[in-house]
Every structure is written in C-alpha cells, then in structure tokens.
Structure 1
Amino acid sequence: MGVAGLPLPGVETGIAASAVVLGMAVVLARRPPLWVAAAVVSFFAVFHGHAHATEMPDAANPVAYAAGFVLGTGLLHLAGIALGLFVHSPGGLLAVRALGGVIGATGFGFLAGVL
C-alpha cells in the first residue's frame, strides 16, 4: 500500500499504539493464544510496513531496500530471543519487564504528544 502510494490513516498512531500494547504485554507477562498474538502483530505490522514503504527514497532499489528491512528484522528477532533467554537469569525477568515498560511508556508518550 505504501509503495503504491495508497493512504492509510493513523499510521503514526498505529505504530505508537503497537508500542503501548506490546510493551504492556511484556510488563504484564501476558501470553495470549497464538491466534490472538498473530492477529495483534499482523494488525500492527500493516502500520509499520506502510510507514517503511512510504518512506522509501525514490532513488533506492526496492529489492535492496526490502532486503535491508528483512535483515534488520531478523537481527531484531535474534536480539529479542537473546533477551528472552535473559528472563531465566537472576533479575532477568524484572529487567525484561522493565524494558517492556519503557517501550510501552515511549509509545504512550508519542500518543500523548509528549515525544
């Protein structure tokens, strides 16, 4: 949609809301059923994907640009997995939940217009 120039209302709001929802899920240690988690992530992915596609420079090679995002996303997932393993260490659960709080608070700050 973003590459095609189709507008999507509320992109920035959707991205900030994703930080609030997913950050709070970490803080509260919520583990919804897989289908619920997939639906929530898919919903928010539309906003993130639209923003990235819309912001692609005109001079950029779309394939290289997309490959960079795939690589970046993979590295972020690996970092998340590593951080998730930290939960089992002393103080790890508290640290991970605190980081979830920082993510949620940052999203709320964007929604409130503070950031």
Structure 2
Amino acid sequence: MTAHGPVFISMHSIPHYEVVYGFIGVYMLVVFAAIIVYMPWRRIFFALPLPKLLLTILILASLLAIMGDKGQLFYTYVDENIEELAELLAYIVQGALVIWYHCQLKHVDKEGISM
C-alpha cells in the first residue's frame, strides 16, 4: 500500500509462477471443454435475441481494462485502479449475461422454438 493506493504485484514476482500458469491453463481447458459440450448453442444463437446493452458494457469495460493496463488513460497510477475496476465491472456483466441467458432459455424449448 502506498500513499496513492494499493500496489498490485506482478505474476512474475510470485515464487513458482510457472506452476500457477500451468494450473490456470489446465483450468481454462476444462472450462472450455465443458462449454463446448454442455452449452445449448443452437438455442442461444438462433432462438434468443442479443443482449445489446450488456454486450456494449462488456466491450467498453474490456477496452478500459486494456487501456488502463497500458497506462494510456491518465498516464499515472490512476490507470492501474481503473484497470482493476473495469475488470471487476466486466466480471459482474459476465455474471449478468449468464443470468439473463438462463432466464431466457426457460422460454425456449429443446428445438430452439420460443414458447
């Protein structure tokens, strides 16, 4: 903690960070495989409308996080805080998207026809 707020450590400063990267990679592969197998792709892409507002917020939060990570917003320590807050917003919006799709899928049958 500094006078300007928290300092976020780099992943490379953690001992054995390669092992952490390995666990993250395996976890991502398991999640990706589960998404491919269990996701009702046809019902999502052909029967449901696109949640434009949530996707717009997600894209803007992602852009803010990228720009904050590179220090392109204010060129000060504030960029790091904006990056972390934008990432938090992106995670919250992703949760809202999951809930939205879950509620919408209740109204669509297995063949992708709205009830």
Q: TM-score range by the shorter chain?
A: 0.3 to 0.5
More helix by share: 1
Larger-gyration structure (1/2):
2
**Which protein has greater RCO, CA pairs closer than 8 Å, 6+ apart?**
1
